Amino acid sequence: MDVLELKEYNMLKSLMKKISFLIFIFFLSLPSQASDSLYFARTFMLINQQFDSGNYEANIKLIERLVHEPEFKELNCHHQGQIYHKTGGAYYFLNQEQKAIEYYKLTFRKRKAWIIERNNSTKELFRADA
């Protein structure tokens, strides 16, 4: 093998290690993501049912109760943001614009945190074997 082939071989070997690690992390995280997704799906469906039927006050009370549950605190920032967004919508339809704005800002912060979290984990993943 000449020098160029050796460099290509080493780059390919490094890439394969990273891909293997990604696959390992993906399968390792499946059970927690599944329970997170199931809780979110049930919760968000209930919130949407209340919202669609115009029960905005009941929806706000429901969400205020949910945010204190351990399962809610374990949701990723994106899912929390979606729930807070529905809270902002409920306050908006109750003509409580200031409260709606507060929840929309909270939604923005949660989604921004989720994006930063995802970017950082991706950077760390590719930095680990460099």
Structural domain spans, the chain: 37-127
37-127 topology per CATH: 1.25.40
More confident residue, 117 or 4: 117
pLDDT at 83 over 60: yes
Of the listed ranges 2-16, 17-31, 52-66, the least confidently predicted one is 17-31
pLDDT, averaged across the chain: 79
Res 90: pLDDT: 93
Instruction: Note the pLDDT tens digit of each residue in 48-80.
Output: 898 889 999 998 999 989 989 998 888 888 888
Kindly write down the DSSP assignment for every residue of 9-61, as one continuous string.
HHHHHHHHHHHHHHHHHHHHHHHHHHHHHHHHHHHHHHHHHHHHTT-HHHHHH
